[in-house]
Amino acid sequence: MSNTALISIDVQQSFLSRPFWVEDDVPAFQQNISQLIETCVAKNVPIVRIFHVSSGPFALESGLVTPLDWMPPQHDVVFHKHVHNAFSDTGLDYWLRKRKISKLLITGIRTEQCCETTARIGSDIGYEIDFVTDATLTFAMTHPTTGRTLSARDIKERTETVLAGRFANIVSTADCVAALSAM
Protein backbone atom coordinates (compact mmCIF):
# COMPACT_ATOMS: atom_id res chain seq x y z
CA MET A 1 0.00 0.00 0.00
CA SER A 2 1.33 3.42 -0.97
CA ASN A 3 1.68 6.30 1.48
CA THR A 4 1.18 8.65 -1.49
CA ALA A 5 -1.97 9.98 -3.15
CA LEU A 6 -2.52 12.04 -6.27
CA ILE A 7 -4.84 14.99 -5.67
CA SER A 8 -6.57 16.25 -8.84
CA ILE A 9 -8.16 19.60 -8.05
CA ASP A 10 -11.01 21.20 -10.02
CA VAL A 11 -10.27 19.67 -13.42
CA GLN A 12 -13.90 20.25 -14.31
CA GLN A 13 -16.19 21.39 -17.12
CA SER A 14 -17.19 24.50 -15.11
CA PHE A 15 -14.03 26.32 -16.19
CA LEU A 16 -14.91 26.14 -19.88
CA SER A 17 -17.59 28.79 -19.31
CA ARG A 18 -15.25 31.24 -17.59
CA PRO A 19 -14.21 34.29 -19.65
CA PHE A 20 -10.51 33.77 -18.90
CA TRP A 21 -10.41 30.19 -20.26
CA VAL A 22 -7.90 29.82 -23.08
CA GLU A 23 -6.59 26.59 -24.57
CA ASP A 24 -2.94 27.70 -24.92
CA ASP A 25 -1.51 25.59 -22.08
CA VAL A 26 -4.19 22.89 -22.02
CA PRO A 27 -2.41 20.30 -24.26
CA ALA A 28 0.70 20.14 -22.03
CA PHE A 29 -1.44 20.14 -18.88
CA GLN A 30 -3.62 17.36 -20.28
CA GLN A 31 -0.61 15.25 -21.21
CA ASN A 32 1.06 15.72 -17.82
CA ILE A 33 -1.92 15.08 -15.57
CA SER A 34 -3.00 12.11 -17.71
CA GLN A 35 0.50 10.61 -17.49
CA LEU A 36 0.48 11.01 -13.72
CA ILE A 37 -2.93 9.37 -13.41
CA GLU A 38 -1.86 6.47 -15.63
CA THR A 39 1.30 5.97 -13.57
CA CYS A 40 -0.63 6.13 -10.30
CA VAL A 41 -3.12 3.55 -11.57
CA ALA A 42 -0.25 1.23 -12.55
CA LYS A 43 1.39 1.64 -9.12
CA ASN A 44 -1.85 1.45 -7.08
CA VAL A 45 -1.44 5.02 -5.85
CA PRO A 46 -4.85 6.39 -4.85
CA ILE A 47 -6.30 9.14 -7.02
CA VAL A 48 -8.44 11.75 -5.28
CA ARG A 49 -10.68 13.88 -7.46
CA ILE A 50 -11.77 17.24 -6.03
CA PHE A 51 -14.51 19.38 -7.57
CA HIS A 52 -15.34 22.96 -6.64
CA VAL A 53 -19.04 23.53 -6.01
CA SER A 54 -20.55 27.01 -5.64
CA SER A 55 -22.85 28.98 -7.94
CA GLY A 56 -23.28 29.52 -11.68
CA PRO A 57 -21.25 27.04 -13.74
CA PHE A 58 -19.87 25.62 -10.48
CA ALA A 59 -23.32 24.69 -9.15
CA LEU A 60 -24.17 20.99 -9.21
CA GLU A 61 -27.40 21.87 -11.02
CA SER A 62 -25.38 23.34 -13.91
CA GLY A 63 -24.29 19.86 -14.94
CA LEU A 64 -20.74 21.20 -15.35
CA VAL A 65 -19.27 19.87 -12.10
CA THR A 66 -17.89 16.90 -14.00
CA PRO A 67 -14.40 16.07 -15.28
CA LEU A 68 -13.12 17.72 -18.44
CA ASP A 69 -13.93 15.38 -21.34
CA TRP A 70 -10.34 14.23 -21.80
CA MET A 71 -9.63 13.40 -18.14
CA PRO A 72 -8.83 9.74 -17.51
CA PRO A 73 -11.80 8.26 -15.63
CA GLN A 74 -9.80 6.53 -12.91
CA HIS A 75 -10.18 7.74 -9.34
CA ASP A 76 -10.62 6.25 -5.89
CA VAL A 77 -12.79 8.93 -4.31
CA VAL A 78 -14.46 12.24 -5.16
CA PHE A 79 -14.88 15.18 -2.80
CA HIS A 80 -16.81 18.40 -3.36
CA LYS A 81 -15.32 21.55 -1.86
CA HIS A 82 -16.92 24.94 -1.33
CA VAL A 83 -13.77 26.91 -0.47
CA HIS A 84 -10.38 27.28 -2.14
CA ASN A 85 -8.59 24.43 -0.37
CA ALA A 86 -9.50 20.76 -0.62
CA PHE A 87 -9.38 20.13 3.15
CA SER A 88 -11.64 22.54 5.05
CA ASP A 89 -15.08 21.17 4.23
CA THR A 90 -14.57 17.84 2.49
CA GLY A 91 -13.47 14.99 4.74
CA LEU A 92 -10.28 14.62 2.66
CA ASP A 93 -7.97 14.72 5.70
CA TYR A 94 -9.90 11.92 7.41
CA TRP A 95 -9.93 9.82 4.22
CA LEU A 96 -6.15 10.22 3.77
CA ARG A 97 -5.22 9.55 7.40
CA LYS A 98 -7.48 6.48 7.57
CA ARG A 99 -5.36 5.07 4.71
CA LYS A 100 -2.05 6.18 6.29
CA ILE A 101 -1.31 8.51 3.39
CA SER A 102 1.32 11.08 4.28
CA LYS A 103 2.49 12.39 0.89
CA LEU A 104 0.36 14.31 -1.62
CA LEU A 105 0.98 15.01 -5.29
CA ILE A 106 -0.87 18.25 -6.03
CA THR A 107 -2.25 18.79 -9.55
CA GLY A 108 -5.18 20.62 -11.12
CA ILE A 109 -6.71 24.00 -11.91
CA ARG A 110 -5.83 26.90 -10.90
CA THR A 111 -2.19 26.81 -9.93
CA GLU A 112 -2.21 29.87 -7.66
CA GLN A 113 -5.64 29.42 -6.15
CA CYS A 114 -7.01 26.04 -5.21
CA CYS A 115 -3.81 24.07 -5.91
CA GLU A 116 -1.54 26.44 -3.97
CA THR A 117 -4.04 26.82 -1.12
CA THR A 118 -4.42 23.05 -0.82
CA ALA A 119 -0.63 22.66 -0.77
CA ARG A 120 -0.28 25.26 1.99
CA ILE A 121 -3.03 23.78 4.17
CA GLY A 122 -1.80 20.23 3.53
CA SER A 123 1.71 21.16 4.59
CA ASP A 124 0.44 22.95 7.69
CA ILE A 125 -1.47 19.87 8.84
CA GLY A 126 1.48 17.55 8.36
CA TYR A 127 1.51 16.17 4.83
CA GLU A 128 4.59 16.05 2.63
CA ILE A 129 3.62 17.95 -0.51
CA ASP A 130 4.97 17.48 -4.01
CA PHE A 131 3.62 20.34 -6.11
CA VAL A 132 3.64 19.13 -9.71
CA THR A 133 3.53 22.55 -11.35
CA ASP A 134 3.53 21.34 -14.94
CA ALA A 135 0.44 19.27 -14.07
CA THR A 136 -1.40 22.41 -12.95
CA LEU A 137 -3.14 24.96 -15.14
CA THR A 138 -3.78 28.65 -14.74
CA PHE A 139 -4.47 31.73 -16.82
CA ALA A 140 -3.13 35.26 -17.16
CA MET A 141 -4.33 37.78 -14.59
CA THR A 142 -4.24 41.57 -14.47
CA HIS A 143 -3.27 43.38 -11.27
CA PRO A 144 -6.24 45.43 -10.04
CA THR A 145 -4.36 48.67 -9.37
CA THR A 146 -1.24 48.67 -11.56
CA GLY A 147 -2.90 47.12 -14.59
CA ARG A 148 0.14 44.86 -15.11
CA THR A 149 -0.77 41.51 -16.62
CA LEU A 150 0.94 38.43 -15.27
CA SER A 151 1.15 35.55 -17.73
CA ALA A 152 0.29 32.00 -16.71
CA ARG A 153 4.04 31.32 -16.70
CA ASP A 154 4.63 34.31 -14.35
CA ILE A 155 1.94 33.07 -11.98
CA LYS A 156 3.35 29.54 -11.94
CA GLU A 157 6.84 30.90 -11.26
CA ARG A 158 5.51 33.02 -8.40
CA THR A 159 3.66 30.03 -6.95
CA GLU A 160 6.77 27.86 -7.08
CA THR A 161 8.78 30.64 -5.43
CA VAL A 162 6.46 30.99 -2.45
CA LEU A 163 5.87 27.26 -1.96
CA ALA A 164 9.42 25.90 -2.43
CA GLY A 165 11.17 25.00 0.80
CA ARG A 166 8.26 26.27 2.88
CA PHE A 167 5.18 24.31 1.94
CA ALA A 168 6.14 21.96 -0.88
CA ASN A 169 8.73 20.25 -2.98
CA ILE A 170 8.48 21.55 -6.54
CA VAL A 171 8.60 18.61 -8.93
CA SER A 172 8.04 18.01 -12.63
CA THR A 173 5.75 15.36 -14.05
CA ALA A 174 8.80 13.52 -15.40
CA ASP A 175 10.48 13.43 -11.97
CA CYS A 176 7.24 12.41 -10.30
CA VAL A 177 6.63 9.60 -12.79
CA ALA A 178 10.23 8.39 -12.32
CA ALA A 179 9.82 8.34 -8.52
CA LEU A 180 6.47 6.53 -8.76
CA SER A 181 7.87 4.02 -11.25
CA ALA A 182 10.68 3.19 -8.82
CA MET A 183 8.16 2.23 -6.11
Q: Residue 93 — left, alpha, or beta (φ > 0 → left; ψ -120 to 50 → alpha)?
A: alpha
The pLDDT of residue 183: 87
Rounded CA separation 6/105 (Å): 5
pTM of the model as a whole: 0.96
Q: Residue 73 — left, alpha, or beta (φ > 0 → left; ψ -120 to 50 → alpha)?
A: alpha
Output the domain CATH number for residue 80. Answer: 3.40.50.850
Q: 90-140, pLDDT tens digit by residue?
A: 999 999 999 999 999 999 999 999 999 999 999 999 999 999 999 999 999
pLDDT of 166 higher than 70: yes
How many domains does the structure of the chain reveal?
A: 1
At residue 182, the 3 state secondary structure works out as: coil
Range of the domain at 63: 4-181
pLDDT of 87 higher than 90: yes
Q: 15-42, pLDDT tens digit by residue?
A: 999 999 999 999 999 999 999 999 999 9
pLDDT of 1 higher than 60: no
